[in-house]
Chain A
Amino acid sequence: MAKLNLVLGNDITSPVAIHEMEKFNKKGVFDKDKIALVPDHFVPNKDIKSAEHCRCVRNFAKENEISNYFEVGEMGIEHALLPEKGLTVPGDVIIGADSHTCTYGALGAFSTGVGSTDMAAGMATGEAWFKVPSAIKFVLTGKPAKWISGKDIILHIIGKIGVDGALYKSMEFVGDGLQYLSMDDRFTIANMAIEAGGKNGIFPVDEKTEEYLKEHTTREYKVYEADADAVYDEEYVIELDKLKPTVSYPHLPENTHTVDEAGDITIDQVVIGSCTNGRMEDMRIAAEILEGKHIAKGMRCIVIPATQAIYLECMEKGYLKTFIKAGCVVSTPTCGPCLGGYMGILGDGERCVSTTNRNFVGRMGHINSEIYLASPAVAAASAIAGRIVAPE
Chain B
Amino acid sequence: MEAKGRVFKYGDNVDTDVIIPARYLNSSDPKELATHCMEDIDKDFVNKVKQGDIMVANKNFGCGSSREHAPIAIKAAGISCVIAETFARIFYRNSINIGLPIIECPEAAKEINAGDEVSIDFDSGVITDNTTGKSYQGQAFPEFMQKIIQANGLINYINEKG
CB neighbours of B40 from chain A (8 A): 361-362, 367
CB neighbours of B26 from chain A (8 A): 42, 46-47, 49-50, 53
- Closest B residue to A345 by beta carbon equals B23
Distance (whole angstroms) from the CB of A255 to the closest CB of chain B: 11
Distance (whole angstroms) from the CB of A305 to the closest CB of chain B: 21
Range for the number of chain B residues in contact with chain A: 35 or more
CB neighbours of B158 from chain A (8 A): 24, 121, 124-125
Q: Complex Cα distance A83/B13, Å?
A: 31
Range for the number of chain A residues in contact with chain B: 35 or more
Given that A197-B60, A340-B21 are contacting pairs, would A116 and B68 also be in contact in the complex, using a CB cutoff of 8 Å?
Answer: yes
**Of residues A115, A340, A367, which shows the largest number of chain B Cβ atoms within 10 Å of its Cβ?**
A115
A contact patch SS: loop
CB neighbours of B23 from chain A (8 A): 340-341
- B22 and A24 contacting across the interface, CB-CB below 8 Å: no
- B59 and A115 contacting across the interface, CB-CB below 8 Å: no
Contact with A along B70-82 (1 / 0, CB 8 A): 0110000000000
CB neighbours of B63 from chain A (8 A): 163-164, 197
Distance (whole angstroms) from the CB of B138 to the closest CB of chain A: 17
Does residue A25 face the partner (Cβ distance < 8 Å to B)? yes
Q: Which of B21, B25, B144, B155 contacts A362 (CB 8 A)?
A: B21
Which residues of B does A touch, CB under 8 Å? 13, 15, 17-18, 21-23, 25-28, 40-41, 59-60, 63-69, 71-72, 86, 88-90, 93-94, 97-98, 144, 153-156, 158-159, 162
The 4 closest A-B pairs by CB, nearest first: A115-B94, A49-B26, A115-B68, A117-B97
Which residues of A does B touch, CB under 8 Å? 12-13, 15-16, 19-20, 23-25, 41-42, 46-47, 49-50, 53, 96-99, 101, 113-118, 120-121, 124-125, 129, 163-164, 167-168, 194, 197, 199, 252, 339-341, 358, 360-363, 367
